[in-house]
Structure formats: structure tokens, C-alpha cells
Amino acid sequence: MIKVGIVGGTGYTGVELLRLLAAHPEAQLTAITSRKEDGLPVADMFPSLRGHVALAFSAPDKVDLSQCDVVFFATPHGVAMAQAPALLAAGVKVIDLAADFRLKDQATFEQWYKMPHGAPQLLEQAVYGLPELNRAAIASASLVANPGCYPTTMQIGFYPLLKAGLVDAGSLIADAKSGVSGAGRKAEISTLFSESSDNFKAYGVSGHRHTPETTAQLQRHTNQKVGLVFTPHLVPMIRGMHATLYARLTSPIDDAALQALYEAQYRDDAFVDVMPFGSHPETRSTRGSNMLRLALHRPPGSDMVVILVVQDNLVKGASGQAVQCMNLMFGLPETTGLQQIALLP
């Protein structure tokens, strides 16, 4: 059994990790830390876990995480970088769900996250945890940087086109929407029910942290200079993400060949569903599951390809993807513990 520790188990990605790992046949929850909730049984905070998680939260100084095989950080940015060096030195694998290790360039991280990086010596060692595009590197990694939710949709959506050299990489557009849970489990006016319900708005239009992350990763797959316009939006639902992606073709290709390109690329990826050409994937078709669904469109008379991508921002966009990485790191089938069917309605 894999002995698992979770740092910061009180947020939405934390409870999602608990839900998935409690049912994982090869995982043994060993420690869940929270300074504020020290001693509180996990099931008292999250009644959905009654009968499944018997542990209580522990203050960080009361547990020895070095006894774990893997530690997940479901924490704000800046926490993992402070604790990862000691854990790695003790032979513990680390998966960070925040952004501490997503960007290889220290200056870029500090520019976007407004904090000094506490472990720059680990940036090169960290492996970006998007299994569909980086599976082999994840399997041999000790430190994994779990991708952001929006970047997951953008990379999986654009990748086949960039790899094939079919589009102008300098004029990519992503118009994406996320449920309110993407903002985290905290008291904030903008995410209060009366503020976010019956409302729709864009945010981060002049610059969003996920832009440099996505651009840097997409750049790995093309010789062209990547240019990305990314506009995120907040929609009045709890969980779910929908990205509408636009890419301009520079080489002729018909619809059937375009569909075949995506089907061939993701044929062996259990958590990417390439739907029939012209389909309209819905966020509810992925709710509670680790599945990402996409569909291709070609507006009549246009040289644009439109890719529609949906996922659950808390599962494939966060905790499910982290468990997917853990499976790879420990030599398990990638789907282990992650075959939940989406909830409908």
C-alpha cells in the first residue's frame, strides 16, 4: 500500500483528494495536516467522508510526513516550496497542486505570484504533471507540479494541432469558463452566493497566472513562437470548466482528417474522450469524474478550428489528475481509483 500524506486537506482540492484516495485500492491515508483544525475528525468537517476516512486533522508539527511514500500539497502557493526539499531528501515523493513548481523560470514565477521562490534549486527537477503529454517523465519523477485547471484544457485541446504543425501558434485564443469552486474554499465577497449566482463575468483579462504556464508548456511542442490570448470567466455553478479554443489553420486539412488526428493522438488515453466531429460537450458530462471531453468544429468558409473542451475543474483539473500522476509514479495502472462515472443530473 502507498502511504499517503496530505498537507492542507481542508480546501476543495483537499477534500477531493480525500474522496478519491479513500476509495483507492492501493492508497492508505496516513496523515492530513491542518494547523487550524488540529484534532478535528475529518468526517466532522466533511460528513460525506463518514465511514470512509477515520483520521483527524493534525497540526504539521505533530506528524512525521517523512514516513509517507508520497505527500500531496493541496495548499496555497508558497507552502510546498518550503517543505518539499526536506521531504525529497527523506525519499518521499511530492505532488504539488499549487503553482510552486509549474514554471521553470524563477523570475517568471516571482513576477506572476508576487513572492520569492523558496526552492529554486528544485525547479529543473520538477516534472510537469500532465499525463497525456508527459507520461514517461512523470513515471520516473520524485517531484511533480500538478497543472492548473485551465492549462489542462488548453494544452490537451491545442496539442495535436501544434504537434502536426497545422496552425499558426502565434495566434491561439482560449475563451474559458470555470465554476466558483475554482476560486477555492475561502470567504471572499466575489464568490458569495448572492454575488456569483445569476451572474457571469470575465476576470484576469489583462493578465492571468495560467497564461505563462500554458504558453511555456505549449512552446515545448512547436518551433513557432507561441502567442496565446486567454480570457477566463466565472460562471454561477459549483464545479465544471468549459474552454472554447480557436486556432488558425496554415495547412489544408479536411474535417475527417482533423477528427482522425485527434482520435489517433488520444486513442490510448483513458481520460480524454474525443467526441464525434461537431459535438457539443457539456460540463455536467464530466462532473465528479476524471474525464475530459472535447469536440472539434469548423465554421463554414473559415480557416479556424474551434475546439470545445470540458472537464471537472476539481478532478481532472486538480485532484484527479494528481492521483493519476501518483499512479504513474508508483507503477500502477493510470486509471486505478479513478474510474468514477460522471454524475448526472
Residues assigned a catalytic role: 149
Please tell me the distance from the alpha carbon of residue 117 to that of residue 115, in angstroms, as a whole number. 6
The pairing of strands 292-297 and 272-274 is parallel
H runs (alpha helix) in the chain: 12-22, 42-45, 80-89, 106-113, 131-139, 149-164, 193-196, 210-219, 255-266, 320-329
- The residue length of the chain stands at 345
**What is the C-alpha to C-alpha distance for residues 310 and 319, in angstroms, rounded to an integer?**
16
Locate 287 and state its grid cell.
462532473
List the one residue out of 134, 95, 93, 139 whose CA is nearest residue 331.
139
- Rounded distance, CA 147 to CA 156, Å? 12
304-311 and 292-297: which strand pairing? antiparallel
What is the end-to-end Cα distance of the chain in Å, rounded? Answer: 35
Radius of gyration of the chain (CA): 20
